[in-house]
Amino acid sequence: MGISAIKVVLLSIFLFLGMALPGIFMQPESSLEVWNLNESDFPADSSQPHEKMAFLLNYAILAPSSHNSQPWKFAVSGDKILLFADRSRWLSVADGDKREMHISLGAALENLILAAENFGYNCTVSLFPGQEDLVATVSLQEAALSAANTSLFQAIPLRRTNRNPYETQALSQADLNSLLGYSSGPDVAVFLSQDPDTIEAFRKLVVQADGILYSDIDYKSELGRWLGLGVMGPRGVRAKMAQLAVVFLDVGPEQIRKDSDLINSTPCIGFICTAENDSLSSLQAGRALERLWLAAASKGLSLQPMSQPLEVRQVKADLDSLLPAVWDKRAVQQTFRLGYAASQGEHSGRRPLQDVLINR
Compute the average pLDDT of residues 207-220: 95
Q: What is residue 30's three-state secondary structure?
A: helix
Does residue 4 surpass a pLDDT of 70?
Answer: no
Contact of 356 with 73, CB cutoff 8 Å: yes
Which amino acid, one-letter code, is at 322?
L
Q: Tell me the per-residue pLDDT of 121-167, one tens digit each, with 9 for 90 and over.
A: 999 999 999 999 999 999 999 987 666 779 999 999 999 999 999 99
Task: Report pLDDT for 241.
Answer: 81
What average pLDDT does this structure show over 178-206?
Answer: 97
pLDDT, tens digit, for every residue of 219-270? 999 888 887 776 666 666 777 787 788 788 888 999 999 999 999 999 999 9
17: pLDDT confidence band, cut at 50, 70 and 90? very low
Contact 277, 47 (CB under 8 A): no
φ, ψ dihedrals at 246, nearest 5°: -65, -40
What is the per-residue pLDDT across 101-126, written as a single tens digit (0 to 9) for each? 999 999 999 999 999 999 999 999 99
Beta-sheet strands, E only, within 160-301 = 189-193, 268-274
Name the amino acid, one letter, at 196: P
**pLDDT one-digit tens code per residue, 274-318:** 999 999 999 999 999 999 999 999 999 999 999 999 999 999 999
Q: Tell me the torsion sign for CA atoms 13, 18, 21, 24.
A: positive
CATH 3.40.109.10 fits 173-339, yes or no: yes
14 to 19, 33, 225: CA distances (angstroms): 9, 29, 16
φ, ψ for residue 193 (rounded to 5)? Answer: -125, 130
> What does pTM read for this prediction?
0.90
Q: Which fold would CATH assign to domain 33-159+348-355? A: NADH Oxidase (3.40.109)
Question: What is the average pLDDT value for the chain, to the nearest integer?
Answer: 89
Report how far residue 279's alpha carbon sits from residue 267's, in angstroms, rounded to the nearest whole number: 31
Task: Compute the distance between CA of residue 215 and CA of residue 247 in angstroms, rounded to an integer.
Answer: 10
Question: How far is it, in rounded angstroms, from Cα 237 to Cα 24?
Answer: 8
pLDDT of 12 higher than 50: no
Measured over the CA atoms of residue 8, residue 211, residue 102 and residue 143, the dihedral's sign is negative
In the chain, list all ranges with CATH 3.40.109.10: 173-339
pLDDT digits (tens, 9 = 90+) for 37-95: 999 999 999 989 899 999 999 999 999 999 999 999 999 999 999 999 999 999 999 99
Question: Half-sphere exposure of 32 toward its Cβ, with a 13 Å CA cutoff?
Answer: 13
Q: Distance between CA atoms of 289 and 294, rounded to whole angstroms?
A: 9
SS3 content of the chain, % helix, strand, coil (to 5): 50, 15, 35
* pLDDT value at 344 more than 90: no
What pLDDT, on the 0 to 100 scale, is given for residue 85? 98
Q: What is the distance between the alpha carbons of residues 311 and 63, in angstroms, rounded to a whole number?
A: 21
Cβ atoms of 245 and 238 closer than 8 Å: no
Task: Write down the H helix ranges in 21-166.
Answer: 49-60, 99-118, 150-155
- The CA distance from 204 to 256, in Å, is 10
